[in-house]
Homo-oligomer: A and B are copies of this chain.
Amino acid sequence: MRTKPLYGAIEAGGTKVVCAAGYGPTEVPADGRAVIPTTAPEATLAAVVQFFEGITRKYGVLSAIGIGAFGPVDLDTSSPTWGRILATPKPGWSGTSVVAPLERFGCPIILDTDVNAAALAETRLGAGAGVGSLAYVTVGTGIGGGVVVGDHTIKGLLHPEMGHIHVKRDPRDADFSGICPFHGDCLEGLASGPAVQARWHTRAEDLPDLHPGREILGGYLGQLAATIALMLSCERIVFGGGVVSGGRLLPYIRRSASQWLGGYLPIEARAGGFNRYIAAPGLGDLAGTAGALLLAMQAAQARH
């Protein structure tokens, strides 16, 4: 009798690392999941290794490990710095390999961004089940976006960094200079959680009902949605993260995207209208690890 293959999944985020092990994205045993705070890289990665050592003692060897990591991260397997986090403001993490500590498990390791992994999971199991291409955007401490086209995530020069596109400014917001250290008033500099805090001294979910902030934020994020539709022609766009869900921004994002597109794309005829086209996540917090597990399954299949 052949044992069912077991896969490891890691969602390495800026505040926490979620580890999981299972036989499929919906087959994770009760003790097959752990949440580790993201502190110094050595301590964090040691705890990750410890978790998977416990898993392999109890459940046997891993067939592959999938990782969805915060960026920027080197995804190019032909590069000498494959697996390393690139220049990041997170203390100690620049240059850290998130892959090397896991090589002791002797199985294929596949690395992608956290948002590409989430996009893959949402495409297969979540809000995009059945579509051929999907973008997943999360708005929190930063703004990240992942893209799946035809069952594969988009990489290339680096990986999508759509939080850093520039948007046209809302006249009501003209005085705010933005907080992105690279670009000032790029999208992340205007619509991330820290940007909300910087100009309105509150979280998006605590904005008063008649505050113009929701329209302003939804307006900027709707420009991103329109840009995704025009640049990538995605069949669905998922918007998640604390700023969007807490701020109840989806209706504003949809209205803004519709205005910026000006009827140009067949959203009604071919995507069932903006309410279907721009969707909330279907998997919630599980998208990252589910996607990492799907990546691990891809890696194991590619080996056979």
- Chain A interface residues (CB < 8 Å from chain B): 76, 86, 132-133, 145, 147, 149-150, 152, 154-162, 164-169, 182-183, 223, 226-235, 260-267, 270-271
Contact = CB atoms under 8 A, between A and B. Distances in A.
Contacts of A169: 168
Question: What secondary structure prevails in chain A residues at the interface with B?
Answer: loop
A158 B227 contact: no
- Which 10 residue pairs are nearest across A and B when measured between Cβ atoms? A156-B233, A133-B156, A182-B262, A231-B231, A182-B264, A161-B230, A157-B233, A183-B262, A156-B235, A157-B235
A86 B265 CA distance: 10
B230 A164 contact: yes
A253 to B, nearest CB: 16
Contacts of A166: 167-168, 223, 226-227, 260
B235 A162 contact: no
Given A149-B154, A152-B150, A166-B223, A160 B262 contact: no
B262 A161 contact: no
A266 B261 CA distance: 31
Contacts of A263: 182
A227 to B, nearest CB: 5
Given A166-B168, A235-B156, A227 B227 contact: yes
